[in-house]
Amino acid sequence: MSKSSCLQRTETALAAISAAGDEGARIFTRVYSAAALAAAQAADARAAQGIRLGPLDGRLVSIKDLFDVAGDTTTAGSAVLRDAPPAAADAAIVQNLRAAGAVIIGKTNMTEFAFSGIGINPHYGTPGNACDITRIPGGSSSGAGVSVARGLVDIAIGSDTGGSIRIPAALNGVTGFKPTQARVSRSGAYPLSFSLDTVGPLARSVLDCAQADAVLSGTAWQALPTRSVAGLRIGVPRGLLFSQCEDEVLAAFEATLSALSAAGASVHDLALDEWLGAPFRLQEQGTLVAAEAAHIHAAVLASKPEALDALVLGRIRRGEKITAAHYVGVQQARTALQSALDAQLADFDVLLLPTVPFVAPHIAALQDEAAFTQANLLVLRNPSVFNFYDLPALSLPIRRETGAMPVGLMVVGQRNSDRSLLAIGAALQGMPGLR
């Protein structure tokens, strides 16, 4: 009997991961060869009978190693969890993926506890950028971005607390989607921040992300509404989030903006620094992420802090010094600011800005703590604003000349307008410079 396409693609993916050797092990912390092959055979059997469980039936998927898989240890990128008890049940999103017929290839590497946007991991190794393995992959969903960009899977599932889906999407040249927080269950996902964690996909296209989002959120798949670039009301928040941008990032962004204007979009520069700078001003004495991480990891901090990545440990330790009064004050201010920014965005379909202000730097250049810290703050700056405001956001790859490192375009939608944002993203991705 001849092998069908899903089984062939699964075998090809597994062979490619194996052939990548040490690099394959840096991308995937666990490969589920037997289960993936069985799932692929089942998908082919369904297809032969004309049965389709949903848009991800027979699609190859990777999951970040902070989602529970029954019988397997969830490491969350940390050596201290290497020998933790195996998960008793699949995470909610893993259950949804299995029920939808997805073929789960394996678990992908990540920054320890998801607490960095760079993607470096001293415990399990650092996967190289898909376009240049000497450069950072972006984090914290590092293996997720690389697994899609290298064609090892169709879709990767990651988490995004301050940009951890959009950053690796931008730096590896793929599409990433951060939904509104409440859209996708975080049950069975190892947390970083209760207030800010979100779960979403990375893929080659907005359509793939939209189909994955339907499965992750447990909603029936419906085709996205058709939107046109002509007539789109686009806001460009000039100011803080455009500072310190590399020239090639700005050039790619401005070329995209010009193409959208030529296609009939209505583009307006906006002065929003009062609101977009507020998350940084409010959290100068301590961030929500650090405070919540200090609570989540209190037992590790008390028992074996020396086992953690020193750069991650330092960020968690800062959370121990945050007062309850400051934490509550930030939360209260956040609620008020969300409504205020909503009002500022009411007349616009989306905001557009660079996802991150630079192309992926070399891993070797960030071995120094000061260089790492500076790069980490900058890579998280733009995307983290929209976690604070809980707005859905995409990162789309901007097409560039052959050999150039990827640049991401961030597309931010209005509150709870996830499907509308995805529809607009699909229209934007139909433009020649964003395919």
Query: 248 with 215: CB under 8 angstroms?
Result: no
Tell whether omega for the bond before 140 is within 30 degrees of 0, i.e. cis. Answer: yes
Euclidean distance between CA atoms 41 and 126, whole angstroms: 32
Euclidean distance between CA atoms 186 and 173, whole angstroms: 26
Tokens standing for residue 383: 């995307």
Euclidean distance between CA atoms 341 and 119, whole angstroms: 30
Query: 26 with 127: CB under 8 angstroms?
Result: yes
Phi/psi for 76 (5° steps) reads: 50, 30
Q: Which of 78, 140, 142, 217 is catalytic?
A: 140
Q: Which of 62, 64, 147, 395 is catalytic?
A: 64
Tokens standing for residue 149: 């960009």
Residue type, 368: D
Rounded (5°) CA angle 24-27-28: 85
Ranges assigned E (strand) in 109-173? 155-160
Kind of pairing between the strands at 233-238 and 175-178: unpaired
Query: 411 with 421: CB under 8 angstroms?
Result: yes
First to last CA, the chain: 38
Catalytic: 64?
Answer: yes
Euclidean distance between CA atoms 165 and 394, whole angstroms: 9
Catalytic: 261?
Answer: no
How far is residue 46 CA from its own chain's centroid?
A: 31
Catalytic: 178?
Answer: no
Q: Which of 116, 141, 164, 193 is catalytic?
A: 164
The contacts of residue 139 (CB under 8 Å, 6+ apart) are 110, 111, 114, 116, 117, 118, 119, 120, 164, 167, 168
Active-site positions read 64, 140, 164
